[in-house]
Structure 1
């Protein structure tokens, strides 16, 4: 059975607290490990979470504010130290290329890991070499150029047993249908569409540091899991607008309008000692599954529909 889960490495925003580390989110997807926004302390949080840096295959950076990227040098150093032999694809806004170069060579070190940089210049699909999913980016609304990410597994087809029984189909002819899309049965040709239905692939979206904008909705539409910032509670909406962030209620409204299955709230301002109001604000707008993320949580990706 495939292993698909989100490991929460940090949930703070600009200032970490005693309970919340800076950002860090590891999506474990079968043989892949996608690390999103490694903030300061990510390497240590991975040790607490019991996940290996050598399992990271891709790193996705939304923007180059420190709480979303200061952990990159440590993570790369740890990958090298652990002897990972595979290349690591790194995605980031092209406008921040100078910061990327500074981060990956910020100290005297012997980097062994082979990095494949993918600067993002606009909305659209990104190259995911060797992946069995698509990866794309959409621009968000923040004081510096910021991109969110979406991962989609291709749809497949599954046989409908009732339809097979109605036509008396079993054994080798079913295999032929699967391989060729049709099979001759008696005096007629049966097509795969007649006896199967589409099974949607799983999907995941990551939205961080943004006001409400078209990119948020584009990334969130119909996803199984939406990880989205909820820096402020609804009572502080004006602050959210001023600083380029979302409230918990705004994030929940996006989830409701887009048909999200599991909503994961994170990236909380240090001003909030508890997160009860975040949950209350979100619940007022979204009746699906809501996870108010906490450091070191593991959240399974919802099973395929």
Structure 2
């Protein structure tokens, strides 16, 4: 059975608190495990969350500020310590390749795991696989930063009642899915007759940035949007100055982009009541809002079909 969920390892920003570790987010997506922005302490948070190093298939860094990357040395070394057998690909801004090299070899260890460096120099599709496409978009921050989007291709959902009515069963179903039709007793049955469109799911990860085109491109149609909400509206000027978003801006993005579930995170330590982030984002976004907590798990919403979307 496939699992699609976000495991939240840390939700703080520049300064961790007693209840919020530095950043860290593991997206479990069927056979993939994408670790986003592992900040300091991520390896230990993985232990608390029950996440094994072997579940990581990709490491995705948005930029090289410490709260988004200082966990890389521990995670990389853990891959070898635990004897992870599959290759792990690391995506990061190409301008920070020197920093990544330092993080990767921050101390002496016996490296046995295969870590493949895949620097991101331009926006666009940066990887393809059974999961679909991994897309990077530029963000607006004082240092070069990229956000990430996972896009599953659209496909079709077979309708058992239509298959039965037209007598399509067994190996003929698979043949129809591959070829688009099947010949049965002199009749041609088209795939469209026994199936309906099923939209591919989308996940978006937006960290440290001002509002910019890249934010909206990443969030467009996302089933699950993980987005920074470092500041509240009263400090909007500070947010712009330091290259961050407010909770209200995050809500606006979700509303304008048709997001289904909004996950707010990367909170400044200056605020004592996290629920106020929900209140401010709900002023513009009427969908489901999650105020992320360390070690929490957030399910990716169930797939949408033409039938359910119309309802």
Question: How does the TM-score come out when normalised to structure 2?
Answer: 0.93
Aligned to 1:66: 66
Q: Any residues of structure 2 matched to 1:1-305 within 5 Å, and which?
A: 1-128=1-128, 131-161=130-160, 163-164=162-163, 168-171=166-169, 174-184=173-183, 189-305=188-304
Partner Cα separation in structure 2 for residue 143 and residue 108 of structure 1: 32
Deviations 1:55-94 (A, max 9, x none): 1110000000000000000111111111111111000000
Deviation at 1:133, TM superposition (A): 2.2
Deviations 1:200-227 (A, max 9, x none): 1222110000001110111111111000
Deviation at 1:168, TM superposition (A): 3.5
Aligned to 2:307: none
Change (3 A) 1:159 1:65: same
Change (3 A) 1:131 1:72: farther
Deviations 1:108-161 (A, max 9, x none): 222222111111111100124x54321010000000000000111222212335
Structure 1 unaligned segments of length 5 or more: list them.
none
Deviation at 1:171, TM superposition (A): 2.7
Structure 2 unaligned segments of length 5 or more: list them.
305-311
Partner Cα separation in structure 1 for residue 249 and residue 195 of structure 2: 39
Change (3 A) 1:180 1:231: same
Query: How many positions carry a matched residue from both structures?
Result: 303
Cα RMSD, aligned residues only: 1.6
Indicate the SS of the match to 1:127: strand
Partner Cα separation in structure 2 for residue 257 and residue 185 of structure 1: 47
Question: How does the TM-score come out when normalised to structure 1?
Answer: 0.94
Partner Cα separation in structure 1 for residue 105 and residue 148 of structure 2: 25
Partner Cα separation in structure 1 for residue 112 and residue 163 of structure 2: 54
Deviations 1:240-279 (A, max 9, x none): 1110000011001111111111100000001011212111
